[in-house]
Chains A and B, each alone.
Chain A
C-alpha cells in the first residue's frame, strides 16, 4: 500500500471516533456558538471600525471554536491514545507511524472546519447577511490559521501525558480566548492586554480574518507570525515524537 491509503484509513478512523465523542462535540461546538448567539443578541447591531459587530464577533467565535477543536483533536486525543497503548498497538501494524500523526492533524483540521462553518452559518442565518467573498475569505483564513493550533496541540500531546494534557489544552484554550482578545475587544481593555495579545497566535488568526472581512488586504505580518508558530511547534512535536514515540 502506498502512503495515501494509510493516511485515508487513519483519518477516516479518526473522524469516526470524533463523531462518536458526542459530549465533547457539544462542548467544543456549543460553547463558541452559545457565546456568539448571546453577544450577538446584545451588541449585534453595533458597528466597530466600520464593520458590523456581528461579523467581528463571528470571526472571534469561529477562531475560539477552531482553537478548541484543534487543541483537543491533535493534543488531548493524541495524548490519550499514547496513554491507552493504542499508539503502541498501531506500531505492530503496517501503518507507518507518521500516518497516525498525520491522521490526527487531519482530524483536527476537519473538526476545526466544522467549528468555523457552524459559526459562519449561524452568523449568516441570525443576522440575515448575504454570504460575500470577503466573509468567505475571513472564514477560510480562520480555518487555515488554526493549523498553528494543531501543531501546538500535537506538541502538548508529546510534552505532557494523559493526566496533564487536559489542563494544558484548557489553559491554552482559555488563554487564547481571553488574552487573544476573542471574548472582550482589546480596545476595551488596558493597553498591556494588546501587547500580550500580539504574542498569541489566536489574536493573529482573528486579526487576519477581521481585516479580510473588512475588505482589507491579507496582512502578511499575521501570516508570518502564524507560520512561525506552526513551524516552531511542529518542529518541537517532531522532535518529541522521535524521542518518545
Chain B
C-alpha cells in the first residue's frame, strides 16, 4: 500500500459490528497530516466506534486502518497519537499533577507538565485529587493529558461534552494554539454539533447509520447541501407528480403548497411559470444547512435523529 508522506491516516472499507448489528460499514477515509477533521453525525452514527477503530481500541471486523503507515497500536507505541476518550478515563487516588507527570514520562518528546497545564488551564488544579474534579474539569485534565504528550496526531472524541459554553470556546482556542505550535499536527474530533464542525474543522466527514455520507470542506458541503428553496401554491388539481414530470424538477408537497430544492432558483422559477398552470404566491428561501443536513442524515440512517446546531 503506497502512502503519501502527507497522509496521517487511511481507513479502508472499515466495518465493525456489535453482535449482528453493523455500527460501521464500508468506511473509507483519508486524514491528511496537519488538518483538522471533524467526524460529524447524530448519536449512534458510529463516530466513537470509528475513533476506537482508528486508535486500535477495537479490532475491525472488516477493512484496515493505518496510522502513519503502521497499525494503530504501533503508532500508539511510538507515541505518535494521543486521545481524549469519552467518559471518565482518569484513575482514582491520584492528583492532576501525578497524572500529567505520568503521562508525560510515557512519550518520547513531551511538553513540560507546567507548560501543558498552563496551556489547558489546569495549572490551578494540579494539587487537586482527580476524584474531586467537576465534569468539565475532568474533561480539561483528559485534554491536558493529550496535550502534554505532544503527539503529532490528536484524537478528540466529543471533546466538549460536559463543558459549558465558555469551556467549549476555551477548548477550541487551545486546540488551535496547540495545533499551530507544531508543524503538521493532525486533529480528528467527533461532534454531533454542526456549528462546532463548521467552525473548527478543515474538513467534515458526515457519518450516518455507520456510513460516510459526505466528506468535504465545510464551505463545499454548504455549497453542495444548502440549496435554495422555491415555494409556491397551485390551483386545485395540480399535483407534485405533474409538476415534476413537466419541469424535470424534484417538486414535493409542503405545508404552503409545493417546494423545490435547487441550485438554480431562477431557472426553476422560469420553468414553473412557463407551465402556465396558474401557480401563485412564489417565494424563494435560502436552505438552512441544518435542515438539509438533517434530511440527509435521516435519509441515510432511516430515522429522524435530530442533529443539533447552535
Contact = CB atoms under 8 A, between A and B. Distances in A.
B61 interface: no
22 contacts: A5-B105, A9-B106, A17-B91, A17-B93, A20-B95, A21-B92, A84-B90, A84-B92, A85-B85, A85-B88, A85-B89, A86-B89, A86-B90, A88-B85, A89-B142, A89-B145, A91-B76, A92-B81, A93-B79, A93-B103, A94-B77, A94-B78
Interface string A63-99: 0000000000000010011001110110111111000
Contact of A92 (B55, B87, B93): B55
B7 interface: no
A167 interface: no
Contacts of A81: 91-92
Interface string A91-109: 1111110000000000000
Contacts of A89: 83, 85, 89-90, 142, 145
Contacts of A242: none
B14 interface: no
Q: Which 8 A-B pairs have the closest CB atoms?
A: A85-B89, A89-B89, A17-B93, A20-B93, A13-B102, A92-B83, A86-B91, A21-B93
B107 interface: yes
Contacts, number: 79
Contacts of A94: 76-79, 106-108
A6 interface: yes
B136 interface: no
A20 B129 contact: yes
A240 interface: no
B98 A13 contact: yes
B182 interface: no
B190 to A, nearest CB: 15
A187 B66 CA distance: 65
Given A13-B94, A20-B129, A94-B108, 18 more contacts: A6-B106, A9-B105, A12-B102, A13-B98, A13-B102, A16-B94, A17-B94, A20-B93, A21-B92, A80-B92, A81-B91, A84-B89, A84-B90, A86-B89, A88-B89, A94-B77, A94-B79, A94-B107
Contacts of A9: 102, 105-106
B160 interface: no
A91 B58 CA distance: 11
Interface of A: 1, 5-6, 9, 12-13, 16-18, 20-21, 77, 80-81, 84-86, 88-89, 91-96
Given A13-B98, A84-B90, A93 B76 contact: yes
Contacts of A18: 93
A12 B102 CA distance: 9
Contact of B98 (A6, A16, A77, A84): A16
B49 interface: no
A96 B77 CA distance: 7
A93 B57 contact: no
Nearest to A9: B105
